[in-house]
Amino acid sequence: MSVLIVGSIGLDDIKTPLEEHKNLLGGSASYCAVSAGFFSPVNLVGIVGEDFPKEHMALFESRQIDLEGLQIVPGETFRWSGEYMWDLNTRETRSIALNVFEHFTPTLPANYKKPAIVLLGNIAPDLQHHVLDQVTLPRFVVADTMDLWINIAKERLVELLARIHMLILNDSEARELTGETNLIKAGHKLQNLGPGYVAIKKGEHGCLLFGQEGEFFSCPAYPLTDIHDPTGAGDSFAGGLAGYLAKHTGDSEITFDNLRQAVVYGSVIASYNVEAFSLERLKTITQTEIGERYDMFRRISQL
């Protein structure tokens, strides 16, 4: 089964305390799609300008990513520039240029409209609603979000929560959206707004998964010693999770046990992603490496 992924596709300039790189492949949909492609085919919906490098397009084409929903239009591709502080957790945005992404309101191709799994990247809630309005009875809808939408589009975001099965967000966003300082209370409060499942990412401290029947799972973070670029880690997590669900659930009902496994595989992909800038590490990892790191996760989390 395929995953329908909608989000931004961009070009990033990234600076860390030790390195700086320009014109990197970025955007939530890029990380989500390549990560999901390790497990299942992907139908990608996004927009780029005529300046989008051919080598980035070739990466998409080399994976299980269908590009019928990718628009290439006159103008410049979405651009983001950011700088990370010494802890690699604190980040400052230097600049954002929406460019062709500013007025992106996609019409889904006909063969994208009956997806098994939908992954809505951390794009504006209005755009997330626009996509859901075009699909028919998806089995499982996952949505990511960010602090920007909590600040400027909270009402529409809350409305979206009633339409999805799973929400993914980080710990600070969970606290901001719910007004709760305790993450357990925040997770339950988010579930009361609609999604049966909630995953709260805690960066280097792992992830909390809340189930619709009161189940709970705390997934540790993989103990990394070599981190180069945290950009896209959350998107890689979401993509790996969605791709795993598409591959391993078939027509069956998605259960909490499925989601526990998916959270671990998403964490595995995210752990590889931060080992190099942009998607460079995701270009090289193998299924064997994914399996080896998953086995390590099993040992440290007692799965």
pLDDT at residue 302 in the model: 65
Give residue-wise pLDDT tens across range 195-251. 999 999 998 889 999 999 999 999 988 888 889 999 999 999 999 999 999 999 877
The rounded distance, in Å, linking the Cα atoms of 182 and 204 is 18
pLDDT at 262 over 80: yes
Give residue-wise pLDDT tens across range 80-89. 999 999 888 7
pLDDT at residue 204 in the model: 80
Give the CB-side neighbour count of residue 205, counting CA atoms within 13 A.
8
pLDDT at 136 over 90: yes
Q: Over the chain, what is the mean pLDDT?
A: 95
Q: Name the burial class of residue 107, with classes exposed (0-12), middle (13-18) and buried (19+) by CB atoms within 10 angstroms of its CB.
A: exposed
Contacts of 14 (CB under 8 A, 6+ apart): 20, 21, 24, 81, 82, 83, 84, 229, 231, 277, 278
Give residue-wise pLDDT tens across range 101-120. 999 999 999 999 999 999 99
What φ, ψ does residue 280 adopt, rounded to 5°? -60, -40
pLDDT at 176 over 90: yes
Assigned CATH topology for domain 3-301: UDP-N-acetylmuramoyl-L-alanine:D-glutamate ligase (3.40.1190)
Give the CB-side neighbour count of residue 7, counting CA atoms within 13 A.
30
pLDDT at residue 131 in the model: 98
